[in-house]
Amino acid sequence: MAIKGRWPRAIFYDSKTTLFDWGWSWAKAASTLVEKYGSTVDVGKFIRTWVRFFESHHRRTAFSQYTPVTETVLEALMDTYSVLRIAGSPDDVRAYTDLQDKVGLFSDTEEALQNQQELGVKVFIYSDVERKYLDMYVSKFKKFRGDFVGSTEEPRIHKPNPLTYYWVLQQNGLQARDVLYCAAPAFDVQGAMSAGLIAAWLRRPVDGMLANQAPTTKGIPADYEIESLHDVTRIIKANRSA
């Protein structure tokens, strides 16, 4: 897909599993908990079950009462314990929360985002995690500074509800047609497309995070499918050079 002219005016990014290796904290926490309880359950199965419950509960909260992500992580963890017959404790959620300050950048993140700003576009980072955790992630940048960094905790509307994407656009005085959205989670891409954004699905392999289904909205595929954040830079160059 080619959109010629001075487009896009901004790149609108998801944070976790797109810019930051959030999946690492899930894998590490799952390994710790399986070992803690001496479970014979495979760590991979534990992660997949936990994430599946999380995604189900999280999507529900997007269209009902706002719930902090940590609470949804805990709810999903307790469901996982129940299904896998592990006598775990709610306090075990700390195996996840205590790792959040160690969540790092993917290798392509900072260079790609800096290159994109140099091309004259603004870079937005918007996350479903609570602001305190997002600030931990963003602190890992050495030089890059986002033009807008926000959490769904602020409007209290989770992704993939289209209203939460509109809120970011309103905060920055932009319309959907001005922006390219990029995310790794398929449901996030679907939400952005439902809000009228042109979307790039980042097919970054992340252990344990269920990102293996092509995002569609009413049968329409994502506008772009990419493998690296550097591909976003190439999309910007192709469109802004006209």
Q: Is the CB of residue 181 less than 8 Å from the CB of residue 169?
A: no
Q: What is the pLDDT of residue 212?
A: 43
- Residue 11 dihedral angles phi and psi, to the nearest 5°: -105, 130
Contact by Cβ (8 Å): 13, 123: yes
| pLDDT tens track for 54-66 | 999 998 999 999 9
- CA distance linking residue 181 with residue 187, whole number of Å: 13
pLDDT digits (tens, 9 = 90+) for 40-54: 889 999 999 999 999
Of residues 80, 92, 29, the one with CA closest to residue 53: 80
pLDDT at 1: 46
In contact, 222 and 215? CB cutoff 8 Å: yes
Helix 43-62 with 22-36: angle, nearest 10 deg: 130
Paired tokens of 220: 């329409």
Q: Where are the beta strands (DSSP E) in 15-130?
A: 122-127
Q: Is the Cβ–Cβ distance between 230 and 112 less than 8 Å? A: yes
With contact defined as beta carbons under 8 Å apart, do 211 and 16 qualify? no
Count, in order, helices (H) and strands (E) of the chain: 9, 8
Strand-pair partners of 15: none
Q: How many angstroms separate the Cα of 28 from the Cα of each of 50, 159, 189, 207?
A: 13, 25, 26, 11
Q: What is the pLDDT of residues 103-159, one digit of tens each?
A: 999 999 999 999 999 999 999 999 999 999 999 999 999 999 999 999 999 999 999
The mean per-residue pLDDT over the stretch 174-200 comes to 95
Orientation angle between helical segments 109-118 and 229-240, nearest 10 degrees: 10
Q: According to the model, what pLDDT value does residue 240 have?
A: 79
Q: What is the pLDDT of residue 39?
A: 83
Q: Which runs of consecutive H residues, i.e. helices, occur in 98-206?
A: 109-118, 131-138, 162-171, 186-194
Tell me what the mean pLDDT of segment 182-209 comes to.
Answer: 86
Instruction: Please give the pLDDT value at position 6.
Output: 79
For the entire predicted model, the pTM comes to 0.91
70 within 8 A of 167, measured Cβ to Cβ? no
- State which H helix or E strand residue 226 sits in: strand 224-226
Q: Tokens 């995604």 map to which residue?
A: 55
